[in-house]
Structure 1
Amino acid sequence: MASEKPDKQEVRVDVEGRTLTISNLHKVLYPRTGFTKGEVLNYYAQVSPVLLPLLKDRCVTRIRWPHGVQEGSFFEKNTPAGTPSWVRTAKVPTTGSRAQSGARSGADTLVFPIVDDLATLTWLANLAALELHVHQWTVGRNGQPRNADRLVIDLDPGEPAGLHECCQVALLVRDKLGERGLATRPVTSGSKGLHLYADLPKRLPSDESTALAKEVAEELQGEHSKLVTATMTKARRSGKVFLDWSQNAGSKTTISPYSLRGRERPAVATPVTWAEVEEGAEDPFGLEQFSPEQVLARVAELGDVFTAPE
């Protein structure tokens, strides 16, 4: 820590050889619990050994809450003004499957940050970028997007269904993907549901991975119509689990495992074991969403559940 400016509530810190100006450490970003910006920065610093490998080579869309989660938020795709010169970026075309509303007016590309070191992660956390969302494709050494290297299905419960029903459906998805030779990993969403990831044996264009996810969703909808829906219409989701296959589209993103969520209380998208999902399928209270403190304790005890073979 090189200097301090009490009037501006700023400190200058050295993060792996990069000097950053950190502001308003005591600012409360989660008023319901009093969780501060300093605690957000501390969480991301502590979880970085398992988070950074999952962000590697992936463009990051951020959701920022500069005045805390009780106030408004905004999506940010392009790098903001004042981005440090040392932040790695990727220029991605917005045409075709990656067209998205985040491009600057008249622009045909987006310039995303890629978070491959603690300094960049700290810089984003200081901007109150609580949520870090990534695509299912990565950027190659030439800076160009590659095909998808994984598939994701988002299990989104429609009330009164909840995480209990998501766990039941997750076991069905695991079996369906297993029939196709794909091993699936579960992650609580940090909100209401579960995310299921499967590494692809070979990279696929986004339309092909999307078609595969949709195929699984529609099969399960046909076999378990009282529990599962593959239809996006919210009016048809009541009491069912929506299998959102669309997040495999080239322009779509999913909250990264180990990212915070901008909810009323601080929660984290948390990798879990299949044993935990099975318990959640049996017991309505067998699995719950996790707090940052719980996640750090889990990582200390279990390591990275997301990449560890069961």
Structure 2
Amino acid sequence: MTPITEVEGRRLTLSNLEKVLHPATGTTKGEVLHYYAVIADALLTHLRDRPLSFLRYPDGPDGQLFFTKNPPPGTPSWVEVAEVPRSSRESGEQVVVQDLASLMWAANLVVEFHTPQWRVDRPAWADRMVFDLDPGAPATVVECCEVALWLRERLAADGLDAYAKTSGSKGLHLLVPLEPTPSQEVSAYAKGLAVEAEAELGDLVVHRMARALRPGKVFVDHSQNAAAKTTATPYTLRARREPTVSAPVTWEEVEGCEAAGDLVFRLGDMAGRLDRYGDLLGPLADPAAAGTLP
């Protein structure tokens, strides 16, 4: 029998709760849904008012994975859907997760949550900037942390505050709260810093995507600041064999990272981290913390 539950007055049908989604740990869909219910307040802070893209993995990371921006078939009428630009010539509808019921509906589809750097009321005006630090083997997140510390200091020199989270995969994301700024301007500034990082840390950093350039270095990916691009949302689970999370981290943890496993967090870690630290990325949603590009 398919369980039906009520969340904030909305009836939800939850399916296949015993299905194993993360085979390395035997983590079931029911455990995934419980995780999202527990950390909902923090996650919703970073989902609200942003058009949502889904990476779906309904049979786990070893099954079919597909990325979609369109509202899935059967999206309930009470889930907010917004018309947003997809390019200079076309637009499309996307889900906007605004509340716990919508979050649990989306989580039941088994998704990674991905969002752009702008909100639906101001398309292509970024209120945050992102750097995706992606290590090329044999480099690991340890080298990403070294680059992150350099970027933090460089951003501070321009009056900007940076906050860190794991990608939930191999790397690290840096996020910077901004006064709403045209995405083109944010992209240009971020690219400039990536180029500068390569000039300063040439043995460690590459700013171009070409894979031939990346072994042993950290690719400072600035491209996710483009209006059409998205980044894994803070606290989302990733489609991996272990239930790893894109987890906010302290700068002390970044400074102290000595091995790749030091910054790996799984769904079972996050409630305790929220109890201890609160939402480390809370300033991203605080207009008072927003900086201005030089």
TM range (shorter): over 0.9
Render the CA deviation track for 1:16-39: whole Å, top value 9, x for unaligned: 110011111111111221111101
Pick the aligned partner of 1:84 from 76, 84, 109.
Answer: 76
Distance 1:158 1:95 in 2: 31
TM alignment of 1:204-243, pairs within 5 A? 204-243=181-220
2:290 aligned partner: none
**C-alpha contact 2:87 2:228 (8 A) present in aligned 1:** no
1:203 aligned partner: 180
Distance 1:222 1:153 in 2: 17
Which runs of 5 or more residues in structure 1 are unaligned?
A: 1-5, 100-107
Distance 1:177 1:203 in 2: 17
Deviation at 1:250, TM superposition (A): 0.5
Deviation at 1:285, TM superposition (A): 5.4
Q: State the SS of the aligned residue for 2:263.
A: coil
1:180 aligned partner: 158
Q: State the SS of the aligned residue for 1:23.
A: coil
Distance 2:283 2:155 in 1: 19
Q: Does 1:133 align with 2:114?
A: yes
TM-score, L = length of structure 1: 0.89
**C-alpha contact 2:238 2:244 (8 A) present in aligned 1:** yes
1:154 aligned partner: 132
Distance 2:149 2:64 in 1: 36
Distance 1:66 1:110 in 2: 24
Render the CA deviation track for 1:265-288: whole Å, top value 9, x for unaligned: 1100000111110101xx235732
Distance 1:292 1:284 in 2: 20
Report the residue type matching 2:99 in the other structure: D
Pick the aligned partner of 2:98 from 92, 116, 119.
Answer: 116
**C-alpha contact 1:277 1:287 (8 A) present in aligned 2:** no
Render the CA deviation track for 1:192-238: whole Å, top value 9, x for unaligned: 010000011x2111111000110100001011110011011011001
Deviation at 1:264, TM superposition (A): 1.4
1:288 aligned partner: 263
Q: Does 1:67 align with 2:49?
A: no
Distance 1:58 1:72 in 2: 26
Distance 2:61 2:79 in 1: 26
1:42 aligned partner: 34
Distance 2:77 2:54 in 1: 19
Pick the aligned partner of 2:254 from 259, 277, 280.
Answer: 277
Distance 1:156 1:256 in 2: 16
Root-mean-square deviation (CA, aligned residues, Å) is 1.4
Deviation at 1:190, TM superposition (A): 0.6
Distance 1:60 1:211 in 2: 24
Q: Which has the larger radius of gyration?
A: 1
Q: Does 1:266 align with 2:239?
A: no
Percent identity between the aligned chains? 48
**May I ask how many residue pairs the two structures share in their alignment?**
284
Distance 2:208 2:118 in 1: 24
TM-score, L = length of structure 2: 0.94
Distance 1:254 1:95 in 2: 18
Report the residue type matching 1:257 in the other structure: P
Report the residue type matching 1:83 in the other structure: T
1:102 aligned partner: none
Distance 1:259 1:14 in 2: 23
Render the CA deviation track for 1:145-169: whole Å, top value 9, x for unaligned: 2511110000000000001000000
1:53 aligned partner: 45
Distance 1:244 1:195 in 2: 9
Report the residue type matching 1:276 in the other structure: E
Q: Which has the higher strand share?
A: 1
**C-alpha contact 2:114 2:232 (8 A) present in aligned 1:** yes
